[in-house]
Amino acid sequence: MTTTGLQPPPAATDRAALTVRGLRKQYAGRSVLDGVDLEVRAGECFALLGPNGAGKTTAIEVLEGVRSRDAGEVTVLGEDPATAGRAWRARIGVVSQGEAAGPALTVQETLDHFAAYHATPRSTADLLDAVGLADSSGTRVARLSGGQRRRLAVALGVQGRPELVFLDEPTTGMDPVARRQFWQLIRELRAAGTTVLLTTHYLDEAAELADRVGVIAAGRLVEVAPPDELGAALRRQATVRWLDDGAWREVRTEQPAAVLRDLLAEHPHGEVPGLAVTRPGLEDVYLQLVGAGAPEVDA
Amino acid sequence: MSRPAPPSAARIALARVRLELRLFARERQLVVFSFAYPVVMMVVFGSVLGGTTTPGGIPFPAYFLAGIAATGIMLTSFQALAASIAVERETGQLERLQLLGAPPVAYFAGKAGQVLVTTAAQLLVLLPVARYGYDVPMPPDLAHWVTFAWVAVLGALAGTVLGIAASALRGSAASVTTGVSAIAIVLQFFSGVFFAFPELPGWMQQAAALFPLKWLTQGMRSVFLPERAAAFEVAGGWEHGRTALVLLAWVLIGLALCSRTFRWRR
């Protein structure tokens, strides 16, 4: 079986690419990860969504094996990242925010150099095409735009034909056009059967790319669901609003029709002033999940 | 599914030496500084103090060539590495190597290879200036050249591992660079680069004897100064055995230090 191919996007398998149980991490007594459970299936694109400081980066660094943990079981591609060796590392790819090998190198030289770290690297020409940098191959990294640098980072992240790719906030600071082009790159990765774990604080990005989204807030995973089912309990809650003697009244309910029937019965002949029934959008749900609304999620 | 084993550390080290040399060559300021500094110092001190002599009636330019060759080696190894590694750490280049699973020893070897090549090039520029500009005699026989080679190589290796260790000092890359330069300047004065070592105060000589630059400088004097100058050394001789031991000890201390303190991330 090959890890890359041009078949149609394979559905996520039942095989787990990584599992996390009870992951905890503290910095100077402050809890950054407070008991995270997570499972990502092979072939899946999973987004860890959360506000800045929620623990996304710490979580992904533990999974990459570059940060220690205080407690919990972590298995990534069958091994514990804390003790796994080079053979394991060769199977994962990281789209790092860091510089490549020096801004004075050209794109081509950079890719050629890093090929030396992999047993069977993808060819530089192939990578340049895949990330759309073929026209910039002779440009020094120092002269690349922000978006082009991220493309180079993707090329470097997949150079070793990884089975699992980590991307930590890959589009932060990108303009909307570059972001959309970047999303396409990730879709192509996913289509080639690569498992993708990305972190983001953009809701639209998670909704656009991920098969499943894990919402992380204050070091806890508060919900895991496909993007369109995110916050299902919250979304069932409709808000009925109307004006009653000049004052706004508001009822939150899972049975708005019942509320409406009562309301209409009270006004058998006239209009109900200001009447509106609204359901929360994805953004409202997300804000409730990560913000003050989080305690309401136990439904 | 089985994958072939990742490339050996040796193969990665080779790729790193090529990379380091290419990056060095493209960093114009570093190239100019590394090659021009010793030459400019040679010209300045040779022109100002060319007519004076040091203990034993040795013309100052010969004495100074030994000191500035040693300083140049410290510059291309210790100072240049501490600064460049601190920058590589700050910009996330080292983090990338960690994520790729690059063996640290391959990274170190790449630095050492680059240091040896640039040090050799620097000395190749400096020696003719001293020979033809200031009439400093070159080593008279093979034995002296062999001494020159092992002193230079051991000095460069000690500088390499200590530079890697120093890059782990706390603070930003800029503050590491400043700190390392300060150490280097003080060591130059203490180690008899600018002044005749035997004329320095005893406490300064003893302090300098703890560090490699003094031995590197003394080893270079044994190469460029006539035999009769040996009698004017503090110990009354060149102390080749002790020089080799101290430099080797610093290579080992540096290795221990960098294997304990080296980190990929800030």
- CA B140 to chain A, closest CA, distance in angstroms equals 42
Mean pLDDT of chain B: 89
Of A87, A96, A104, the CB nearest to B99: A96
- pLDDT for A253: 87
pLDDT tens by residue, B52-106: 887 778 888 888 899 999 999 999 999 989 988 988 998 889 999 999 999 988 9
> B14: nearest CA in chain A?
A116
Cβ distance B6 to A87 less than 8 Å, yes or no, reads: yes
Predicted confidence band at A12 (pLDDT cuts at 50, 70, 90)?
Answer: low
DSSP symbols for chain B = ---PPPPPHHHHHHHHHHHHHHHHHH-HHHHHHHHHHHHHHHHHHHHHHTT-EETTTEEHHHHHHHHHHHHHHHIIIIIHHHHHHHHHHHTTHHHHHHHTT--HHHHHHHHHHHHHHHHHHHHHHHHHIIIIIH-PPPP-SHHHHHHHHHHHHHHHHHHHHHHHHHTTSSS-HHHHHHHHHHHHHHHHHHTTSSS-GGGS-HHHHHHHTTSHHHHHHHHHHHHHS-GGGGGGSTTSS--HHHHHHHHHHHHHHHHHHHHHH--S--
B148 HSE (CA, 13 A, CB side): 20
- pLDDT for B27: 84
Q: Inform me whether the pLDDT recorded for A177 exceeds 90.
A: no
Cβ distance A96 to B12 less than 8 Å, yes or no, reads: no
Residues of A in contact with B20 (CB under 8 A): none
Q: How big is the A-B interface in CB pairs under 8 Å? A: 84
Mean pLDDT to the nearest integer, A157-171:
91
Residues of B in contact with A119 (CB under 8 A): 3-7
- pLDDT for A297: 39
Of B6, B22, B27, the CB nearest to A119: B6
Of A3, A102, A117, the CB nearest to B23: A102
Q: Inform me whether the pLDDT recorded for A223 exceeds 80.
A: yes
- pLDDT for B248: 96
Mean pLDDT to the nearest integer, B206-226:
91
Q: Inform me whether the pLDDT recorded for A299 exceeds 50.
A: no
- pLDDT for A279: 83
Mean pLDDT of chain A: 85
pLDDT tens by residue, A47-103: 999 888 888 889 999 999 999 999 999 999 999 999 988 999 999 999 887 778 888
Percent of chain B with pLDDT over 90: 45
Mean pLDDT to the nearest integer, B129-139:
90
Of A1, A86, A113, the CB nearest to B1: A1
- Picking from B12, B31, B100 by the largest number of A CB atoms within 10 A of its own CB, the best residue to mutate is B100
Q: Inform me whether the pLDDT recorded for A16 exceeds 70.
A: yes
User: Which of these, A32, A67, A17, A60, lies nearest to A168 by C-alpha position?
Assistant: A60
Highest mean pLDDT among B79-83, B143-147, B169-173 belongs to B143-147
Residues of B in contact with A87 (CB under 8 A): 3, 5-6
Predicted confidence band at B14 (pLDDT cuts at 50, 70, 90)?
Answer: very high
Of A87, A94, A105, the CB nearest to B5: A87
- pLDDT for B19: 94
Residues of A in contact with B89 (CB under 8 A): none
Predicted confidence band at A44 (pLDDT cuts at 50, 70, 90)?
Answer: very high
Mean pLDDT to the nearest integer, B139-157:
94
- CA B23 to chain A, closest CA, distance in angstroms equals 7
- Picking from B96, B105, B263 by the largest number of A CB atoms within 10 A of its own CB, the best residue to mutate is B96
> B264: nearest CA in chain A?
A66
Lowest mean pLDDT among A205-209, B125-129, B262-266: B262-266
Q: Inform me whether the pLDDT recorded for A294 exceeds 70.
A: no
Alpha carbon distances (Å) from B102 to A218, B62, B256 = 34, 44, 19
Predicted confidence band at A295 (pLDDT cuts at 50, 70, 90)?
Answer: very low
Q: Inform me whether the pLDDT recorded for A4 exceeds 60.
A: no
Of B5, B92, B102, the CB nearest to A119: B5
Q: Give the C-alpha separation, A240 to A257, whole Å.
A: 9
Cβ distance B98 to A114 less than 8 Å, yes or no, reads: no
- pLDDT for A5: 43
Cβ distance A117 to B26 less than 8 Å, yes or no, reads: no
- pLDDT for A106: 94
Percent of chain B with pLDDT over 70: 100
- pLDDT for B8: 92
Mean pLDDT to the nearest integer, B17-40:
87
- CA A100 to chain B, closest CA, distance in angstroms equals 6
Predicted confidence band at B152 (pLDDT cuts at 50, 70, 90)?
Answer: very high
- pLDDT for B167: 86
Q: Inform me whether the pLDDT recorded for B13 exceeds 80.
A: yes
Mean pLDDT to the nearest integer, A272-291:
82
pLDDT tens by residue, A224-264: 999 888 877 777 788 899 988 888 988 888 888 888 888 88
Predicted confidence band at B235 (pLDDT cuts at 50, 70, 90)?
Answer: confident
